[in-house]
Amino acid sequence: MDGQGSAWNAELAENTANLLELLQELTELPISITLMVAIPKGNGFDEIVRCCTEIGVTEIMPIISKRTLVQPSQHKIERWRKIAIEASEQSERQNTPIISDVIPLRDAVTKMADPSRSSYICVTRIESDHLIQALKKNTAQSIVLLTGPEGGWTSEEVEHAINQGFQPVSLGSRILRAVTAPVVALSITAAIIENPKIE
């Protein structure tokens, strides 16, 4: 695996690897998925990067929202990128997901606003379709998932995202932790993409 979409059978010598044949096996999802995640406290983002890389995310954007409690250093961002590389190798992915630099929520939402994408903001206590229902209507080749911080989104943040074209969706009747929600959202999305006949 080269982390850029190609894989080979190789023969290992002392200090080199002789490439024997290019493999055609596809391990990537057929649709691009960008996961925008409000950074949780502690080392929770490490686990998000690891799990979501294994599931098949294309890009992860660490987000600073109004209720985000941490401001990660550049060293922490490089650590996340290293975790993504390791998780890609472990799960035999052909591509390594992009781990973007940290970006404020408002800037990120504006940047990702694009009618050619299907963009969803995961919300609680707001009447909205379940993510599964929303994905059943998707025809775009690029999906954006936005999940919130401890304490949830402010009403202003949700309103801004909706105004920029994000559709509010539910992940179910229970309140999920900030570390759990992105993994659940991505798992649902990957399952629907790979098995569109799921009811």
All domains of the chain in start order, with CATH = 26-194 (3.40.1280.10)
In this structure, the number of other CB atoms found within 10 A of the CB of residue 167 comes to 17
pLDDT of 195 reads 84
The number of angstroms, rounded, from the C-alpha of 36 to the middle of its chain's C-alpha atoms is 6
Distance separating alpha carbons of residues 20 and 9, to the nearest angstrom: 5
Report the amino acid identity of residue 20. L
What does 35-79 look like in DSSP terms, one character per residue? EEEEPPSTTHHHHHHHHHHHHT-SEEEEEE-TT------HHHHHH
pLDDT at position 26 is: 75
Residue 36 near residue 108 (C-beta atoms within 8 A): yes
Q: What are the tens digits of pLDDT across the range 120-129?
A: 999 998 899 9
| Chain segment 90-132, per-residue pLDDT in tens | 999 999 999 999 999 999 999 999 999 999 999 998 899 999 9
Q: pTM to 2 decimals?
A: 0.87
What would the pLDDT profile of 38-88 be if each residue is shown by its tens digit?
999 999 999 999 999 999 999 999 999 999 989 999 999 999 999 999 999
The pLDDT-based confidence of 11 (bands split at 50, 70, 90) is low
pLDDT (0 to 100) of residue 1? 47
Among the listed residues 184, 99, 112, 173, the one whose alpha carbon sits nearest the alpha carbon of residue 148 = 184
Write out pLDDT tens, residues 146-192.
999 999 999 999 999 999 999 999 999 999 999 999 999 999 999 99
Burial class (CB in 10 A: 0-12, 13-18, 19+), 78: exposed
pLDDT attached to residue 69: 87
